[in-house]
């Protein structure tokens, strides 16, 4: 296979770990030690003069700290070096304007994680159709859920291998996120049709060919009732807490139960998004979406004391619905999945796609009679149909007119580009 027909791909894969109580305790200790190491590095950085804030001086300080503080010895040496590199990279990102300045990490506000920099230490094997095993430094051999083919230890090479991993704990337990490098055959140009996509709330995804993708509630009726009960319980317990008093363990358990239900809903939403975007990427060669500025769409309508906003509660509910659909995440998935299947994703300007008649081109606010029905007010047209389907057709029309958003100098600008018609299948 020649170099022109292959492509190097780097991606991440996250799997659920099945740890015993003793292994959970060991992993928790490592995560707390990593957080403590970060805080010690930050304190060292603030005390040292600028000329001594170097990687060499920091490495010497870490080695001395691991000798003086027994608690830090539970963290593997390579994981401690990863904390050091991450901390210096955080300052580099701050100086280049990509992020804020690093700060201390709190015990309850920080995601617990441990880095495994070298993939060869994992020694991954598949022991069952649904389970694999990996070696975690200073923890031992642990099982993880096998949901994707990974380069196992005996078949790994310089081109297809796992370069590292990271242990991450969320409300559903400990997970391992693999960093995978592989060499794959370059995808042939997708010969599928073009399609425009309109995202919404009532209809999450509507296509220009009339196809729609919908989903139900992420939580069952019993789960929603339990979530409401837990939120009310947390409010009552928080109300009885005195100012300055530490949060009780009972209230923390309630918060953990609430976070667990919300994480379960998010996991179901992610599963639906992955299945839907994979189907679209496999079916269509060119996918056209709107370039939405979601941060502006979910901005609060509260206003100020001098100029209070209107319909604040209704706008808050709309903002929650928009955030719940995660439109940006859908576009991100479509971006890399269409590329993997040989297709392309194009963004077009968003204004007037819901007000324009896809049949005659008339743009007026009165066209949209309701959230679901579109009726053209042009007496010579009078076209009517589904509003989401109409918007998706307008999105595709903008692409066919050559109005695509092309990034230039850090911003997106509208340029008329010559549209390339996909080749017909032979």
Q: Give the pLDDT of residue 424.
A: 42
Q: Do residues 279 and 398 both lie within one domain? A: yes
Q: How far apart are CA 275 and CA 205, in angstroms?
A: 13
Residue at 354 is within a domain: yes
Q: Do residues 66 and 205 both lie within one domain? A: no
Residue at 26 is within a domain: yes
pLDDT tens digits along 232-279 = 999 998 888 778 788 888 888 999 899 999 999 999 999 999 999 999
Residue at 75 is within a domain: yes
Q: Do residues 195 and 316 both lie within one domain? A: yes
Q: Do residues 329 and 205 both lie within one domain? A: yes
DSSP E strands in 277-388: the ranges are: 286-290, 344-348, 373-375, 384-386
Among 168, 185, 202, give the residue marking a domain's end. 185
Q: Give the pLDDT of residue 389.
A: 85
Q: Give the pLDDT of residue 410.
A: 36
Residue with tokens 């439109």: 327
- Residue-number span of the structural domain to which 176 is assigned: 3-18+115-185
Number of domain units in the chain = 3
Q: Do residues 339 and 307 both lie within one domain? A: yes
Q: Do residues 271 and 328 both lie within one domain? A: yes
Q: Do residues 106 and 143 both lie within one domain? A: no
Among 143, 163, 185, give the residue marking a domain's end. 185
pLDDT tens digits along 162-203 = 899 999 998 888 999 999 988 877 888 888 898 998 888 888
- Of 334, 348, 297, which is closest to residue 318 (Cα–Cα)? 297
Q: How far apart are CA 396 and CA 196, in angstroms?
A: 4
Q: Is 196 helix (H, G, I), strand (E, B) or coil?
A: strand
What is the crossing angle of helices 21-47 and 55-68, to 10°? 130
Residue at 373 is within a domain: yes
Give average pLDDT by consecutive 10-residue segment, the chain, 426 residues.
Answer: 70 91 94 93 91 89 87 90 92 91 86 90 88 92 90 72 91 91 82 88 86 90 94 89 82 90 92 93 90 74 64 73 82 90 87 79 67 75 79 86 60 46 42
Report the predicted TM-score, pTM, of the whole model to 2 decimal places.
0.79
Q: Give the pLDDT of residue 257.
A: 92
Q: Do residues 202 and 342 both lie within one domain? A: yes
Among 75, 90, 114, give the residue marking a domain's end. 114
């Amino acid at each position: 296979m020649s170099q022109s027909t292959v492509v190097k791909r780097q991606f991440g894969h996250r799997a659920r770990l099945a740890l015993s109580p003793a292994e959970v305790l060991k992993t928790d200790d490592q995560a707390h030690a990593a957080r403590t190491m970060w805080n010690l590095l930050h304190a060292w950085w603030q005390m040292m003069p600028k000329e001594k804030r170097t990687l060499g001086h920091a490495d010497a300080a870490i080695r001395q700290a691991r000798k003086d503080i027994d608690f830090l010895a539970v963290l593997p040496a390579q994981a401690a070096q990863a904390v050091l590199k991450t901390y210096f990279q955080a300052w580099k990102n701050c100086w280049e304007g990509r992020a804020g300045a690093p700060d201390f990490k709190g015990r309850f506000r920080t995601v617990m994680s441990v880095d495994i920099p070298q993939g060869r230490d994992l020694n991954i094997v598949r022991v069952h159709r649904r389970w694999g095993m990996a070696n975690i430094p200073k923890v031992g051999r642990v099982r993880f859920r096998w949901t994707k083919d990974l380069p196992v230890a005996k078949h790994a090479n310089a081109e297809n291998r796992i370069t590292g991993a990271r242990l991450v704990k969320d409300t559903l337990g400990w997970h391992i996120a693999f960093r995978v490098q592989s060499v794959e055959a370059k995808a042939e140009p997708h010969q599928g049709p073009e399609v425009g996509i309109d995202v919404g709330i009532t209809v999450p995804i509507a296509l220009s060919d009339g196809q729609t993708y919908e989903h139900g509630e992420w939580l069952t009726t019993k789960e929603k009732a339990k979530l409401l009960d837990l939120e009310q319980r947390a409010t009552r317990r928080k109300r009885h807490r005195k100012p300055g008093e530490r949060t009780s363990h009972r209230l923390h358990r309630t918060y953990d139960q609430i976070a667990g239900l919300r994480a379960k809903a998010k996991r179901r939403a992610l599963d639906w998004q992955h299945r839907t975007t994979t189907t679209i990427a496999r079916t269509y060669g060119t996918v056209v979406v709107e370039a939405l500025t979601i941060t502006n769409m979910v901005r609060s309508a509260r206003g100020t004391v001098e100029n209070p906003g209107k319909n604040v509660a209704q706008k808050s509910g709309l903002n929650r619905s928009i955030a719940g659909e995660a439109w940006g995440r859908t576009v991100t998935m479509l971006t890399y999945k269409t590329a993997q299947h040989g297709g392309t994703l194009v963004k077009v300007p968003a204004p007037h796609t819901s007000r324009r008649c896809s049949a005659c081109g008339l743009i007026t606010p009165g066209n949209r009679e309701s959230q679901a029905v579109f009726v053209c007010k042009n007496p010579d047209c009078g076209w009517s149909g589904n509003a989401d389907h109409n918007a998706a057709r307008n999105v595709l029309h903008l692409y066919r007119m050559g109005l695509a958003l092309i990034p230039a100098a850090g911003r997106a600008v509208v340029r008329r580009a010559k549209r390339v018609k996909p080749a017909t299948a032979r």
